Amino acid sequence: MNPDDEIVYDTTPRFIRVFKSGRVERYVCTDATAASVDPATGVSSKDVLISPETGVSARLYIPRLREGDRPEQKLPVLVYFHGGGFCLGSAFMPLYHNYLNSLVAQAHVVAVSADYRLAPEHPVPTAHDDSWTVLCWVAGHAGRGGPAAEAWLAERADFERVFLAGESAGANIAHHMAMRAGIGGLPCGVRIRGVALIHPYFLGSDRVESAEIYPAKTENLETLWRTTCPSSSGLDDPMINPVAEAAPSLAGLGCGRALVCVGGEDALRDRGRAYYRRLRESGWGGEATLFEAEGKAHIFHLFDTDCEEAMAQQKAVCSFLHL
């Protein structure tokens, strides 16, 4: 066999296969749906190219006017980062498109779903850097008018109410965006009001109960991290373990509120719990909330949208966006 055909990462069931040569084969999460007016919710969406040099773009969502709404009424802004282990998915996938339509309709917010370049072709932290580009582009609209401005943001966004959210790897990104904002700030003096981390993809070298219950899933997630970030120092790299000894203090999280959602049957459950505890103990001056969906697995809400736990989690997220 050609040495370049050696497989360095694979999954069962097969989602993605990575070869020593750098070739990548993706078997899922490659489909896309066009921006549109969603007939079920009335939410409108459109796509924007933010960086022609890198191809970084985003899908914007705006809800239909409710009875009594004024066309100029300002709405909270949600910047959303999709998951997929840093190596799968896009902002244009039907899975995320449908989720954002539902969330925007229920929460009544303007949303910007960031599309970032994927690992391993673009190793971590490329996803984070691209996401920062999107976040800064959004924040820049707080002081922007004229033809260069994106109207849905310039005219409808309330930049006093900016929130970040993401699930799995997207939650990891959302955390790091809030940390960057806490250190260096955002354009036009925009401040992040809150960050919602849904089933965050965090790891660590210490053993936790949820990882031991699901050893195969845990091993796969650890191998995936090494594949998507080959320059990483390991499982206690602050990029994947925000509570590691070498990680910056969570006291620097650049927002005033945090919602951490975990699934009771998720191998990553205890990583999310540990983050929540460390945040509360760090000296951070904000308010943290933990939501746990008992008996539910990782990102269950994207697939079992009508179950009681998914609706309860959605309600918690929507309420959070209006605090």
Give the active site residues. 168, 266, 298
Phi, psi of 167 (to 5 degrees): -120, 145
Token readout for 20 is 């020593």
Query: Is residue 81 within 8 Å of residue 56, measured between CB atoms?
Result: no
Q: DSSP secondary structure string, 250-301?
A: GGG-SEEEEEEEEETT-TTHHHHHHHHHHHHHTT--SEEEEEEETT--TTGG
DSSP assignment, residue 158? Answer: E
Report which of 178, 166, 77, 186 is spatially closest to residue 115, judged by C-alpha positions: 166
Token readout for 157 is 């966004």
Cis previous bond, 120, omega within 30: yes
